[in-house]
């Protein structure tokens, strides 16, 4: 009975949050563009440090220097930011985790793991609009002042300027993160910006539903354990539910074709980074979802097969073989499909099939960086001439 009461109370709480969010959206208007604060003020000092970190970020090897992607993300940020467009600068960085952040000086950082996990423009813009909401409401400045009042000022500033912009933002989010009320306010404003830009605001909830499905797919992770990357955010399940309530009855464009076209040249490298994370159950949940949207895509079949091959759990060899053979049969497959088949046949003690797969890999990519090793495998066991 107590449990039922608790659930009913939680649902009522979510309904109140949704109602408050709708009211806040109706009353909210974006502020005028911000003037640069005096360098002697607490806000001016924070801006100055972020300017230095932004300079380091521009030179960072983690920054993705694809001009097409840069221009695309910048255009989306301008669409969301409206009058504030000239003050927002977007930097995609190659880090295979789900995150985005925004500094008070207008620097927005978008992680490649986020780019991999969104299905369309609307979902990407939902996350970016949330960060713009933080920026417009000056939430980072509020957290700075709160840290100062709690005598954590020195630690707050230590987070900046020591480890560079990318790690700085992660440290800021994890240690001096926004309050849950600030997160919900940014969600509410983000939905409004998303809708004003013409996108379907219902996609914002789907971002969190998808992320939650990934986290829950990993049996090694406790279901109720806090996720360090999301520690300062409302719980993903609650967040998805509230966002869905706020967006109920609305609609708009998804921009799926445009997004897939933009990300296509980069997706193999992003998936390769995801594979190297070694979180196989989470990666499989992601790939299963991607394959429901693009059934039979050889690139996705390759990565799902390779993930299963590397995990090597019960039944994985057969499932990996099926995926890799399907990828090869589809045509237009990455050469790495045949290398993976070579390794898989080798583990199954099928030397002739392994050699044939390895040779096909070399034929398709003779300049592969591991070509010398693969030639060794091709010639292994052959009688000397």
For the chain, the structural domain boundaries read 2-247, 266-379
Distance CA 117, CA 133 (A): 21
Q: Please report, in tens digits, the pLDDT of each residue of the chain (385 residues total).
A: 433 332 333 333 343 344 445 445 557 899 999 999 998 887 888 888 889 889 999 999 999 999 999 999 999 999 999 999 999 999 999 999 988 988 889 999 999 999 999 999 999 999 999 999 999 998 877 776 666 565 554 544 444 433 344 444 444 444 456 777 888 888 899 999 999 999 999 999 899 899 989 988 988 766 555 554 454 455 666 666 767 777 766 778 999 999 999 999 999 999 999 999 999 999 999 999 999 999 999 999 999 999 999 999 999 999 999 999 999 999 999 999 999 999 999 999 999 999 999 999 999 999 999 999 999 999 986 765 5
| pLDDT at site 266 | 97
| pLDDT at site 42 | 78
Place of tokens 């009688």: 383
- pTM assigned to the model: 0.84
| pLDDT at site 83 | 96
Indicate the fold that domain 266-379 takes in CATH. Answer: 1.25.40
Distance CA 38, CA 140 (A): 17
**Rg of the chain over all Cα atoms, to the nearest angstrom:** 24
Distance (Å) of CA 325 to CA 304, 305, 333? 12, 9, 10
Distance CA 33, CA 86 (A): 9
Query: Which tokens go with 148?
Result: 């100062």
| pLDDT at site 269 | 97
Torsion of CA 236, 240, 242, 246, to 10 degrees: 150
Distance CA 56, CA 238 (A): 36
Distance (Å) of CA 11 to CA 14, 18, 185, 213, 327? 5, 10, 19, 21, 45
**Hey, which residues does 107 pair with through a beta bridge?**
89
| pLDDT at site 103 | 87
């Amino acid at each position: 009975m107590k449990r039922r009461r608790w659930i009913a109370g939680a649902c009522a709480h979510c309904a109140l949050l949704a109602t408050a969010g709708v009211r806040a959206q109706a009353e909210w208007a974006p502020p005028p563009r911000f003037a640069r604060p005096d360098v002697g003020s607490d806000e001016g000092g924070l801006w100055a440090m972020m300017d230095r970190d932004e300079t380091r970020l521009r030179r960072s090897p983690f920054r993705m220097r694809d001009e097409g992607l840069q221009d695309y993300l910048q255009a989306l940020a301008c669409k969301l930011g409206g009058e504030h467009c000239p003050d927002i600068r977007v930097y995609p960085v190659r880090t295979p985790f789900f995150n985005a952040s925004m500094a008070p000086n207008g620097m927005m950082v978008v992680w490649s793991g986020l780019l991999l996990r969104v299905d369309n423009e609307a979902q990407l813009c939902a996350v970016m609009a949330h960060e713009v909401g933080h920026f417009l409401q000056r939430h980072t400045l509020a957290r700075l002042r709160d840290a100062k009042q709690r005598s954590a000022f020195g630690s707050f500033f230590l987070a900046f300027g020591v480890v560079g912009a990318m790690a700085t933002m992660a440290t800021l989010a994890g240690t001096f993160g926004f309050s849950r009320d600030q997160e919900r306010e940014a969600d509410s404003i983000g939905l409004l910006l998303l809708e004003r830009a013409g996108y379907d605001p219902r996609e914002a909830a789907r971002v969190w539903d998808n992320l939650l499905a990934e986290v829950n797919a990993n049996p090694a992770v406790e279901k109720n354990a806090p996720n360090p990357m999301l520690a300062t955010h409302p719980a993903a399940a609650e967040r998805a539910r509230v966002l869905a309530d706020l967006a109920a009855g609305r609609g708009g464009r998804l921009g799926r074709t445009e997004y897939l076209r933009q990300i296509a040249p980069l997706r193999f490298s992003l998936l390769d980074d995801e594979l190297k994370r070694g979180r196989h159950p989470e990666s499989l949940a992601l790939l299963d979802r991607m394959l429901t949207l693009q059934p039979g895509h050889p690139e996705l079949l390759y990565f799902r097969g390779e993930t299963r091959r590397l995990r090597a759990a019960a039944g994985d060899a057969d499932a990996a073989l099926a995926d890799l053979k399907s990828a090869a049969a589809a045509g237009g497959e990455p050469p790495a499909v045949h290398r993976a088949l070579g390794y898989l046949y080798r583990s199954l003690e099928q030397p002739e099939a392994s050699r044939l797969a390895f040779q096909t890999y070399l034929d398709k990519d003779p300049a592969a960086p591991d070509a010398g090793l693969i030639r060794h495998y091709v010639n292994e066991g052959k009688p000397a001439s």
